[in-house]
């Protein structure tokens, strides 16, 4: 993208030039933070003196616009939050900035993070930089599209059901749903308190690992924050994959899979075998029922978050989002109790399976990237998330890793790597080894060739 060793200001200027040239078509950004260039200048002066601000020194980071930023508006993609300017940064932003990150933009998203298409009626329908007629996924669609368009070098999204992993897959970048509770949600506009997770994203798995390591940490002010990260996310980078036990499910995840995506997954499995990994079949663990229980839990918790506004000002929501969230008001308490119990038992089963494996490998989405025009947001969301919901109910981490391009459409294809809770390091061991041997993540959308500074 830029010359090796380019300064932070030079990289900021290049990213800003791409934003100015392309975002009227991509619409990945809600607010560009012009003042962040001053921070880039400060970091360059620091580096010139032989000092560093931390492990993320000069990394240009975009934030999904439901992550609060002091003095910069945070809309959560909702019309009624258009003028919301928080007084404080979210906890994860404080940690990232403390390690030297430069926050350059607040990024487009599905309204209130409900939906997998990011066709936001208020802040613009975000499009996929690989093909502007297609969706970028969601709800962190802007976080994925901004990375594909190289408006930033890393981003933070949020993932409640699929909202980091789907846009990462559709935009050809790496995206992590971390162990639940590993990254504090304090200062993040919630969807569902017991399912929300802040998720680091970047084209390069090593950058995702560094960003994850910077923002993981127990937050006593967040009642859902947990301690448990013993092995640092970057600890196993560079370690060989010999003897790695890779689980491959025998049912559900590969059902009705696009043949071109299946071919890319087969190529990845063959590569893992050549590295000395052992492929282990995994039987059914209840994954087909995940969507029912995930939907019930998230709708009920979402309705609780917004119940006062739903009743007093339903006009504040788009019809699509109003219908989704309102459905939670009608769920019987006994049915919610059944789903909460199911989730706990499901996690217990998965803990047992992952106790004998290092990772489980599955596709991220079962279909090619959908078109934006004529979309049915609810139907697309359910289809795109069909094989991500089982991992959303898992308490441990799942990583979306780009593994090539669709044989017919030429659009990005990704695989999901899932590990036991607190075992992010294993995912990054595999992902960085794969990216060291391939260059899928370095390829750029043709759209970027239209920007003069890219030549």
Question: Which active-site residues does the annotation give?
Answer: 64, 139, 163
DSSP class of 195: T
Q: From 360, 357, 362, 372, select the one nearest 403 (Cα to Cα).
A: 362
- Judge whether 206 and 55 are in contact, CB under 8 Å: no
Place of tokens 């803990």: 351
Beta bridge partners, 361, equal 417
How far apart (Å, rounded) are the C-alpha atoms in residues 282 and 127?
Answer: 36
How far apart (Å, rounded) are the C-alpha atoms in residues 30 and 42?
Answer: 25
CA geometry: angle 197, 198, 201, nearest 5 deg: 125
DSSP per-residue codes, 176-188 = EE--TTSS--TTB
In the structure encoding, which two tokens stand for residue 58, read together? 């000069």
Residue 106 to residues 28, 95, 189, 359: CA-CA distances in angstroms? 9, 17, 14, 33
Beta strand 124-125 with 154-158: parallel, antiparallel or unpaired?
unpaired
Q: Which run of H or of E encompasses 299?
A: helix 290-312
Long-range contacts of 94-99 (CB under 8 A, 24+ apart): 95/214, 95/215, 95/217, 96/56, 96/61, 96/156, 96/211, 96/214, 96/215, 98/54, 98/214, 99/53, 99/54, 99/55, 99/56, 99/57, 99/214
In the structure encoding, which two tokens stand for residue 103, read together? 């926050």
Q: Which run of H or of E encompasses 156?
A: strand 154-158
DSSP per-residue codes, 103-135 = EEEEE--SGGG--SS-EETTTEE--BTTBTTB-
- Judge whether 140 and 158 are in contact, CB under 8 Å: yes
Place of tokens 């060989």: 240
């Amino acid at each position: 993208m830029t010359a090796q060793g380019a300064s932070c200001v030079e990289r900021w200027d290049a990213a800003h030039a791409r934003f100015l040239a392309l975002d009227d078509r991509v619409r990945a950004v809600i607010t560009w933070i012009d003042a962040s260039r001053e921070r880039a200048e400060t970091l360059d002066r620091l580096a010139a003196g032989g000092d560093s601000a931390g492990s993320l020194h000069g990394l240009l980071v975009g934030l999904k616009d439901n992550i609060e930023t002091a003095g910069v508006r945070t809309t959560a993609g909702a019309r009624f939050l258009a003028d919301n300017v928080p007084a404080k940064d979210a906890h994860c932003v404080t940690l990232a900035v403390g390690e030297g990150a430069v926050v350059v933009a607040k990024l487009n998203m599905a309204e209130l993070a409900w939906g997998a298409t990011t066709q936001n009626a208020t802040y613009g329908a975000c499009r996929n930089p690989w093909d502007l007629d297609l969706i970028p996924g969601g709800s962190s669609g802007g976080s994925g599209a901004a990375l594909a368009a190289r408006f930033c070098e890393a981003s933070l999204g949020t993932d409640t059901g699929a909202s980091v992993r789907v846009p990462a897959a559709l935009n050809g970048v790496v995206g992590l749903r971390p162990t639940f509770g590993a990254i504090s949600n304090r200062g993040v506009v919630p969807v569902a308190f017991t399912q929300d997770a802040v998720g680091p994203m970047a084209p390069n798995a090593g950058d995702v690992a560094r960003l994850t390591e910077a923002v993981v940490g127990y937050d006593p002010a967040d009642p859902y924050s947990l301690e448990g990260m013993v092995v640092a996310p970057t600890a196993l980078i560079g370690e060989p994959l010999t003897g790695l036990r890779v689980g491959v499910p025998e049912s559900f995840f590969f059902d009705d899979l696009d043949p071109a995506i299946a071919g890319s997954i087969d190529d990845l499995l063959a590569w893992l075998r050549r590295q000395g990994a052992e492929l282990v079949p995994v039987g059914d663990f209840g994954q087909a029922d995940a969507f029912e229980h995930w939907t019930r839990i998230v709708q009920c918790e979402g309705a609780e978050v917004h119940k006062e506004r739903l009743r007093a000002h339903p006009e504040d929501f788009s019809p699509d989002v109003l219908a989704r969230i309102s459905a939670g008001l009608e769920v019987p308490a006994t049915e919610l109790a059944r789903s909460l119990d199911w989730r706990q038992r499901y996690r217990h089963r998965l803990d047992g399976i992952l106790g004998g494996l290092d990772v489980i490998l599955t596709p991220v989405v079962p279909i090619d990237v959908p078109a934006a025009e004529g979309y049915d947001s609810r139907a697309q969301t359910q289809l795109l998330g069909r094989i991500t919901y089982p991992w959303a109910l898992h308490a441990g981490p799942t990583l979306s890793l780009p593994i090539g391009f669709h044989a017919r459409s030429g659009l990005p294809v990704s695989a999901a790597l899932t590990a036991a809770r607190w075992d992010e390091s294993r995912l990054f061991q595999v992902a960085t080894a794969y990216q060291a041997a391939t260059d899928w993540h370095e390829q750029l959308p043709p759209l970027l060739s239209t920007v003069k500074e890219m030549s």
